[in-house]
């Protein structure tokens, strides 16, 4: 089946540093999404991208939909302790038997004050 | 507006026991799904439903059963628990009758299951 390769698997950074993570696939997606999971909680949508080449910001977060539609990246600027958690990418093609929403395995972010 | 509510939050079972994880949403979402989360494995789809009376299998359905008698509720049944089913289970819902319309899922807080 389809798989997403998300990297890095984990990051341990100092508060104030910028963070970059990415997601690649061998398949094309029409939508890329980034979710964040706080410790002990369910994932929450951060950013959704619907158009190849699209660059979208949400506060200190910036995400891009790759021009080939096979990749996406997420940047976090000036990290703070509450950025700690697991970040999941997801690729999506609407329709079909289950909407075809595929998750990456996650990037675990730790922030040292 | 409670969103997606899962119960119980924690459960310990013995091998061979059965139980039901409950999931309810109050957003009138047609699409509901169950995922399991294991370390290093990400989120894997167990079963999903695109409306009352309609369910289908996801990536890892073996050992689990679901039904959807109402729009609001989507319980997950473990028929005969095994240690391999030790995991964190998430219920999620979304708009859309053929899958999440925009890909956005609304997740519950999770149910942590340990099978001894």
Answer whether B105 touches A (CB < 8 Å): yes
How far is B21 from B6, CA to CA, in rounded Å?
7
Q: Are B88 and B36 in contact (CB under 8 A)?
A: yes
A51 to chain B, closest Cα gap in Å: 12
How high is the pLDDT of residue B8?
Answer: 97
- Chain segment B61-97, per-residue pLDDT in tens: 999 999 999 999 999 999 999 999 999 999 999 987 6
Mutate to test the interface with A, among B42, B56, B87, B107 (most CBs of A within 10 A): B42
- B11's CB contacts (< 8 A; 6+ apart) are B19, B21, B111, B112, B113, B114
Residue B50: pLDDT over 70: yes
pLDDT digits (tens, 9 = 90+) for A6-31: 999 999 999 999 999 999 999 999 99
> Taking residues A94-103, what's their average pLDDT?
69
């Amino acid at each position: 089946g389809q798989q997403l390769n998300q990297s890095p698997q984990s990051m341990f950074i100092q508060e104030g540093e910028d963070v970059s993570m990415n997601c690649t696939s061998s398949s094309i997606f029409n939508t890329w999404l980034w979710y964040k999971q706080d410790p002990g909680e369910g994932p929450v949508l951060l950013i959704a991208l619907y158009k190849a080449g699209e660059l979208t910001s949400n506060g200190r977060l910036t995400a891009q939909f790759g021009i080939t539609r096979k990749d996406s990246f997420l940047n976090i600027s000036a990290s703070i302790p509450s950025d700690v958690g697991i970040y999941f990418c997801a690729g999506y093609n609407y329709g079909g038997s289950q909407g075809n929403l595929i998750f990456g395995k996650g990037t675990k972010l730790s922030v040292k004050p | 507006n409670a969103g997606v509510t899962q119960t119980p939050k924690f459960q310990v079972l013995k091998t061979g026991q059965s139980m039901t994880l409950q999931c309810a949403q109050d957003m009138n979402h047609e699409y509901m799904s169950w995922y399991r989360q294991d370390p290093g494995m990400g989120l894997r789809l167990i079963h999903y439903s695109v409306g009352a009376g309609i369910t289908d299998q996801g990536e890892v359905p073996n050992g689990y059963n679901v039904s959807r008698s109402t729009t609001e509720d989507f319980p997950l049944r473990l028929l005969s628990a095994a240690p391999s089913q030790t995991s964190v289970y998430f219920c999620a819902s979304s708009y859309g009758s053929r899958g999440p319309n925009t890909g956005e899922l609304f997740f519950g807080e999770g149910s942590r299951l340990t099978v001894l």
